Chains A and B, each alone.
Chain A
Amino acid sequence: MLLCVEVDFPDLWEEMLDALDAVSPLIDDVRPGLAFLEMHGIAGDARAWMAQTRTVLDPFGQTLRLGVGANKIVARAAAYVADGSICEPGSECELLVLLPLTLLDIEAEVVERLMLLGIERLGDLAALPHGPFVRRFGAAAAGWHELARGIDRRPFVPRSRAVAIEASIFGEGRAVDEAQVFFALRMLLTRVCADLARCGKCAGALHLALELEDAQTCTFDVPLAMPTAQERTMFDMMRAKLEGATFESAIVGLRVQARQLEEGGEAQALFGADDFDPQRVAVTIARLEAMLGERITRATTRKAHLLEERFTYEQFELPRKAMFDRTEAPHELVPQLRLLEVREIAVELRAGEPSRVDQQVVMQCVGPWRIAERAHAPSPVARDEYDVVLEDGTFARIYRQNTHWYLRGIYE
């Protein structure tokens, strides 16, 4: 029997899972907010298990939904129907028949397609003929059909035991020179990597705590691009993180902790000579960020009327797609706008159109294009934009806002 634990706001989820160890040693952590406990062989009945679960999770102050069933879909359905429900063997189909398709955890588009076909509940899905349904929706549909009938073949994946791998050095004197810190750091990382190798694990992140002579503690979280147990990579990342840091007093203690432990082994591509090394990319980005004090980003575009709102920057992450793209690059050039720092310009008009911009004759002009944004906001934007070619060959985007003219950018 499985016990389903569902929480709406999974703050402190890891701590809740640790507390659930007192109920069952086998916990499948599906996602933050949803876990299944294997209760086979645990003393007591379903009501006693749920009472114990409520007791251990009570200090977290969360609203719980608990349910017991023979497998994951049934246990979750029981928790969905009402908190504390128990689905007895043999009554699975009866329980599932009126429940929504969202319990299957399938893509919203698929649910939408099914609903367009009039399939709104698990009972509707279970009533469909298996063969034609699978032929229409693909191999994955076989699993959905079984789930709708209360048959769940998804494996129970127990979460791994938390293994603490860390190394520290205290009371060995004080370090005032960065070379001393790096020497101590390398020594600690050697120990951490040896422990990781012994456990057959890789670390997905590192945590460094530096204790200073004035009793302050500085901490650094160092995420790694991919889980690793390589000392060199870890050291490079740590050093890159520390490059921009300054401390007010001498360092008297260091502690390095390996976090986000995963099973060992690194994926290697057979023909990956042209692929970049994710760890090298991560080290480079960390070094650049430490040097510049700013994030290294990548851009994403979006639809907007204002030029400056047509893109945003976000933290750079390695693309998941293969690096080699077989699609052909376009064979034509596209004019590029350069967004200059907005500055006011002097514009003379003739017949309502710009004739001189900053003392230069306008050779050609197109526009205006009216842009009115945020009409109901405290600071509405209303602009008339023009593209102009000046006598010196400059090809610029200018705009008028109220009675003032501004240079927005130059086509290069």
Chain B
Amino acid sequence: MALKAELSGRPSLSPQPVEGAVPTCIPVLDQMLAGGFPPGSVATLEGATGRWSVAAGLVAAMTRRGLVAILDDGALYPPGLAEAGACLERVLIVPVRKALEVARAADILLRSRICRLILMPAIALRDSIWTRLATLAHRNGVLLIVMAARAGAALSAAAELRLHCALERIIMRGTHGLWGSFAGFELCINLRKHKHLLPGCQTHMRAVMSS
């Protein structure tokens, strides 16, 4: 018991790099994730604010190496992706409306292996379907990122990595009203689950709008 208490109280060692990790090109995030997102896995980006900012950074990095697919529920704002540095001509936008369409589109894309990264909205699916998608992602070496305000039990179980984004502070430019504008925000990103790392570590990041 004493040994267990001592080990749990010890500060975490610097993480060993994960082999084949998919780097986000955001240094603090890559450092926290030991190199990047685990390849061939399901990962979740959770929280009310900031998750799409992190995803856009990852899309920008991945479009430099291949195609990216986004299952779009109609809320995508492509100029934001372009501002984040994504090459839009390498982003397949798949319009999806229903849960079944999301699942089937993700299945087709994972099997085809044409994209290294797939972004999909969180939907209510059976455990077996999440397991199937996770297996396909693993077998085909594709990173499937699920954008969820909060991941359900089935998705949490299937995900190898869970990141939670929380808004810390709004950054203002100028004063309020007509004489000011939002310059961006500061985020706190919490690691909730990782196959190779201890959960609980966190990092702080800024998302800044281009003027």
**Interface mask (B38-80 → A, CB under 8 Å = 1, otherwise 0):** 0000000000111111111100110111110000001111111
With known contacts A332-B208, A395-B185, A281–B178 Cβ distance under 8 A: no
**A335 near B: Cβ within 8 Å?**
yes
Q: Say whether A325 contacts B65, CB under 8 Å.
A: yes
Q: Say whether B77 contacts A338, CB under 8 Å.
A: yes
Q: Say whether B182 contacts A333, CB under 8 Å.
A: no
- A375 contact set on B, CB distance < 8 A: none
User: Which residue on A lies nearest to B47, using beta carbons?
Assistant: A412
Q: Say whether A395 contacts B84, CB under 8 Å.
A: no
**B88 near A: Cβ within 8 Å?**
yes
Q: Say whether B205 contacts A395, CB under 8 Å.
A: no
A392 vs B55: C-alpha distance when bound (angstroms): 22
- A281 contact set on B, CB distance < 8 A: 67, 112, 114
A23 to chain B, nearest CB (A): 43
With known contacts A291-B101, A298-B93, A324-B65, A334–B83 Cβ distance under 8 A: yes
User: Which residue on B lies nearest to A299, using beta carbons?
Assistant: B78
**B26 near A: Cβ within 8 Å?**
yes
- A285 contact set on B, CB distance < 8 A: 92
Contact among A296, A310, A367 for B94, CB-based, below 8 A: A296
Q: Say whether A336 contacts B176, CB under 8 Å.
A: no
Q: Say whether A412 contacts B108, CB under 8 Å.
A: no
- B56 contact set on A, CB distance < 8 A: 333-334, 336
A372 to chain B, nearest CB (A): 16
- B26 contact set on A, CB distance < 8 A: 331-333
- B76 contact set on A, CB distance < 8 A: 299, 338-339
A63 vs B121: C-alpha distance when bound (angstroms): 56
* Secondary structure type dominating chain B contacts: mixed
* Secondary structure type dominating chain A contacts: mixed
Q: Say whether B114 contacts A339, CB under 8 Å.
A: no
Q: Say whether B96 contacts A292, CB under 8 Å.
A: yes
Contact among B50, B104, B205 for A412, CB-based, below 8 A: B50
**Interface mask (A263-288 → B, CB under 8 Å = 1, otherwise 0):** 00000000000101100110111011
- A307 contact set on B, CB distance < 8 A: 77
**B194 near A: Cβ within 8 Å?**
no
**A394 near B: Cβ within 8 Å?**
yes
**B82 near A: Cβ within 8 Å?**
yes
Q: Say whether A291 contacts B105, CB under 8 Å.
A: yes
B73 to chain A, nearest CB (A): 9
Q: Say whether A323 contacts B53, CB under 8 Å.
A: no
Q: Say whether A395 contacts B78, CB under 8 Å.
A: no
**B6 near A: Cβ within 8 Å?**
no
A137 to chain B, nearest CB (A): 30
A313 vs B87: C-alpha distance when bound (angstroms): 14
**A172 near B: Cβ within 8 Å?**
no
Q: Say whether B114 contacts A276, CB under 8 Å.
A: yes
Q: Say whether B93 contacts A297, CB under 8 Å.
A: yes
For the complex with contacts A329-B85, A387-B181, 11 further pairs of A-B residues with Cβ separation under 8 Å are A288-B109, A292-B95, A296-B93, A297-B95, A299-B93, A301-B79, A319-B87, A319-B89, A333-B50, A368-B178, A395-B170
Task: Pick 9 A–B contacts, CB within 8 A, sort by A.
Answer: A274-B65, A280-B113, A297-B92, A323-B90, A333-B54, A333-B57, A333-B205, A365-B176, A395-B182
